[in-house]
Structure 1
Amino acid sequence: MGSEYFDYIRDLLKDRSGLAVSLDKTYLIDTRLLPVARKHGYDTIVDMVKALKIRHNEALVVEIAEAMNTHESLFFRDVEPFELFKNIILPQVLQRRKDTRRMRIWCAACSSGQEPYSLAMLLHEEAHRLSGWNMEIVATDISHSVLARAKEGLFSQFEVQRGLPVQMLVKHFAQEGDYWRISDKIRKAVTFKAFNLLTDPRGLGRFDVVFCRNVLIYFDLETKRKVLDALGGVIAPDGVLFLGSSESTIGLTEQLWPVEAGLGVYKHTGSPPSLAELP
């Protein structure tokens, strides 16, 4: 693929999803976009790009952007963030939000739903303490196709074997052939919405906890700064942000600073003790 066509794909992806693709990742373009090109009747990716440069096709552009996104997701990924949520954050919420009896959680770039469903299962386990509370989980992703999968709540044997405790599988899933379907109670605890992290999130409202894990690694520095500043604008004053273990806010934004409670957890700079800290 010539530089002219690579540059077109690179700029399209950065503009649509924030994804940064360097020359050493051209193999990803080949493996993920050739099936898209063939589906639309083009012999090569170059032929597809040539056609797009002549005449814009919004549906095809969306399909290209979705095909290039990585949708890796596991139940209870890395374990520690979920233990922190259950053992520290949730008790702090019950104490600090007892007047409003409301908690809002945002799972950004939720992929096929394992992360928000993991949180929903944790909250279900604590149902005896949450009577009368409004616990809202909002899960968003840029990909409409992956959101459709998440809403369906149907997972393969391979997917449920990755991080999901056996007792939760038995309790919250029903087997359907080679697949497992999550219970309606857990599925209905999550609200899925299409959302692009490059756009203003304030329309989603304010959140006590935001999970945006293993997403920033795919962005360039400029996009990371923009996304982090936007996330900071919707996190409650004592709220917390979870990033992936290899991600950080340091050097990217002055709004958010690490919490000592756990790796990959951040709070507003100079704020009172966050929900991830004891007062």
Structure 2
Amino acid sequence: MTPLDYEYLQKVLKDRSGLLLSADKKYLLESRLLPLARKIGVAGISEVVQKMKAGSEPLIHDVVEAMTTNETFFFRDKTPFDHFKDSVVPELIKARAGRRSLRIWCAASSTGQEPYSLAMILKEKAAELTGWRIEIVATDLSPEVLEKSKAGLYSQFEVQRGLPIQLLVKYFKQDGPMWQLNADVRSMVQFRKFNLLQDFAPLGKFDVIFCRNVLIYFDQATKSDIFNRLMKAQEPDGYLFLGAAETVVGLTDSYKVCPKRRGVYLPNTGASPSLAPGIGASALKPASLVGR
């Protein structure tokens, strides 16, 4: 793979998915794309790039798919889900008593464990939410992982990662070596193909947004832009959940830290959306291509 090949792949990944591939990540690209090269019957990554440049849209899709990280598991990091269950949902039940509805967005939802974790929490609160309209929207770049998500079918290894045994017994049925989530829980989640570089307006407004462990792959300008647009997609008294290694600090004034709740942020409705320090508006480029 030549430096020009790597530069081309960096640009494609940035434009299609927002993924920022730094100069020291060649090993990662090679480990993900060499199996793809073998699959399509070419000698190496340079030949993959040639086919991409020739206009092979399916191959470009496969390259983006191969480079997208889909690591996830049920109740990942536990603490955010405890905050959601013990504090956020009770507060929203009081705040939304008049309209009796909740809308939740899981961005970059991968194979579905995160939105289904939230669905099980809400299922456990069924008595308090009787007569409420609950909408969980889960979005991802990859059609393949979205199909897996919809099926709600997980291996023994996947259900052993973070899923309490009492919830496994209560909400899953064993199907040979696999475990399938019950249909009533699956029906609580709507899965859609969507790209965080797209306009959020068609998705509507949300009370809670989970956007965890995806923004760490974007550059500062893209992170800042996404935070500012997330706030516009959120109710003024809503909640944003980020991953353990993520923060809004130094990137935007659109959100503020939620006291005593690690990883939870509140819309800063009194602030004007702003870019991170040192980032000019010209650094932000609108994306018209679909994906995560």
> Where on the TM-score scale, by shorter chain, does this alignment land: which range?
over 0.9
Task: Give distance in 1, aligned partners of 2:64 and 2:2.
Answer: 20
The alpha-carbon deviation at position 51 of structure 1 amounts to 2.4
- Amino acid corresponding to residue 209 of structure 1 in structure 2: V
Task: Give distance in 2, aligned partners of 1:188 and 1:226.
Answer: 32
State the partner residue of 2:235. Answer: 236
Residue 195 of structure 2 aligns to a residue in which SS?
Answer: coil
Residue 236 of structure 2 aligns to a residue in which SS?
Answer: strand
The alpha-carbon deviation at position 190 of structure 1 amounts to 0.5
State the partner residue of 1:48. Answer: 48
- Amino acid corresponding to residue 43 of structure 2 in structure 1: D
Task: Give distance in 2, aligned partners of 1:269 and 1:229.
Answer: 10
- Amino acid corresponding to residue 243 of structure 2 in structure 1: G
The alpha-carbon deviation at position 115 of structure 1 amounts to 0.4
Cα pair 2:236 2:269 within 8 Å, conserved: no
Task: Give distance in 2, aligned partners of 1:52 and 1:246.
Answer: 34
- Amino acid corresponding to residue 65 of structure 1 in structure 2: V
Determine if the alignment matches structure 1 residue 13 to structure 2 residue 24.
Answer: no
Q: 1:45-194 alignment to 2 at 5 Å?
A: 45-53=45-53, 55-194=54-193
- Amino acid corresponding to residue 245 of structure 2 in structure 1: S
Deviations 1:182-229 (A, max 9, x none): 000111110000000011111100000000011111111111112111
* Pairwise CA RMSD: 1.0
Identity of matched residues, %: 50
State the partner residue of 1:257. Answer: 256
Residue 251 of structure 2 aligns to a residue in which SS?
Answer: coil
- Amino acid corresponding to residue 20 of structure 2 in structure 1: A
Residue 129 of structure 1 aligns to a residue in which SS?
Answer: coil
Task: Give distance in 2, aligned partners of 1:60 and 1:232.
Answer: 35
Task: Give distance in 2, aligned partners of 1:52 and 1:137.
Answer: 36
- Amino acid corresponding to residue 199 of structure 1 in structure 2: Q
Residue 128 of structure 1 aligns to a residue in which SS?
Answer: coil
Deviations 1:210-254 (A, max 9, x none): 000111111111111121111111010000100011101111111
State the number of aligned residues: 270
Deviations 1:83-124 (A, max 9, x none): 111111111111111111010000000000000000000111
Task: Give distance in 2, aligned partners of 1:11 and 1:215.
Answer: 18
Of 20-29 and 209-218, deviating more is 20-29
The alpha-carbon deviation at position 180 of structure 1 amounts to 0.5
Task: Give distance in 1, aligned partners of 2:33 and 2:42.
Answer: 11
Unaligned 5+ segments in structure 1 are 272-279
Residue 237 of structure 1 aligns to a residue in which SS?
Answer: strand
Task: Give distance in 2, aligned partners of 1:220 and 1:232.
Answer: 19
Task: Give distance in 2, aligned partners of 1:91 and 1:3.
Answer: 54
TM-score, normalised relative to structure 1: 0.94
The alpha-carbon deviation at position 40 of structure 1 amounts to 2.2
The alpha-carbon deviation at position 41 of structure 1 amounts to 2.5
The alpha-carbon deviation at position 76 of structure 1 amounts to 0.6
Deviations 1:145-193 (A, max 9, x none): 1111111101011110110000000010011111111000111110000
TM-score, normalised relative to structure 2: 0.90
Task: Give distance in 1, aligned partners of 2:48 and 2:89.
Answer: 50
The alpha-carbon deviation at position 270 of structure 1 amounts to 4.9
Of 158-167 and 254-263, deviating more is 254-263
Task: Give distance in 2, aligned partners of 1:36 and 1:204.
Answer: 33
Residue 190 of structure 2 aligns to a residue in which SS?
Answer: strand
Task: Give distance in 1, aligned partners of 2:60 and 2:225.
Answer: 23
Task: Give distance in 2, aligned partners of 1:223 and 1:147.
Answer: 24
